[in-house]
Amino acid sequence: MIGKSQAFLNLQNLIQKISACDAPVLIEGETGTGKELAARAIHYGGARREGPFVPVNCGAIPDALIENELFGHKQGAYTDAKQDHIGLVGHAQGGTLFLDEVDALTPKAQVALLRFLQDRQYRPLGGHGDCAADVRIITACNTDLAVLSVQGTFRQDLYYRLTLMSLKLPPLRDRRGDAVLLAEHFLSSCAVRYGACRTLAPATTAWLGEYCWPGNIRELENLIYREYLLADSAVIHIQSRLAPNGERRKRADRRAENITEFSFNQAKCRAISEFERRYLDAVLTAAEGNVTRAASLVGKERRSLGKLLKKHGIDRQQYAD
Confidence class for position 271, pLDDT limits 50, 70, 90: confident
Q: What is the pLDDT of residues 174-220, one digit of tens each?
A: 999 999 999 999 999 999 988 889 999 998 999 898 888 888 999 99
**What pLDDT does residue 138 have?**
95
**What CA–CA distances, in Å, run from 282 to 29, 63, 175, 269?**
15, 25, 22, 20
Q: Measure the CA–CA gap between 210 and 205, rounded to whole angstroms.
A: 9
Q: Is the pTM of this model over 0.75?
A: no
What's the average model confidence in pLDDT over 243-258? Answer: 44
| Coil, helix or strand at residue 262 | coil
Whole-number CA gyration radius for the chain: 23
List the domains of the chain with CATH numbers: 6-170 (3.40.50.300), 173-236 (1.10.8.60), 254-319 (1.10.10)
3-state DSSP assignment of residue 256: helix
Alpha-carbon separation of residue 145 from 17, 204, 285 (angstroms): 22, 37, 18
The fraction of the chain above a pLDDT of 90, given in percent, is: 34
pLDDT at 230: 86
Side chain identity at 50, as an amino acid letter?
E
Least confident of 55-69, 163-177, 189-203, 236-250: 236-250
CB 286 within 8 A of CB 31: yes
- The better pLDDT of the pair 173, 79 is held by 173
Which of 2-11, 217-226, 284-293 is least confident? Answer: 284-293
Closest CA to 270 of 281, 301, 278: 278
Residue scoring higher pLDDT (269 or 52): 52
Averaged over 271-284, what is the pLDDT? 80
3-state secondary structure of 251: coil
Pick the closest to residue 231 from 203, 190, 189 (CA basis): 190
What mean pLDDT do residues 116-127 have? 77
- Give the pLDDT of residue 308: 82
Examine the pLDDT at 305 and tell me if it is beyond 50.
Answer: yes
Task: Please say whether the beta carbons of 117 and 105 come within 8 A.
Answer: no
The partner residues of 53 in beta bridges, in order of sequence, read 96
CA dist list (Å): 262 to 43, 255, 256, 258: 58, 12, 11, 8
Average pLDDT over residues 38-43: 96
Decide if pLDDT at 286 tops 90: no
Residues 6+ apart with CB under 8 A from 138: 24, 25, 26, 27, 39, 42, 43, 96, 97, 98, 99
What is the rounded average pLDDT of the residues 28-50? 93
Q: Where are the beta strands (DSSP E) in the chain?
A: 25-28, 53-57, 96-100, 121-122, 131-132, 136-141, 165-168, 199-200, 235-236
pLDDT value for 321: 59
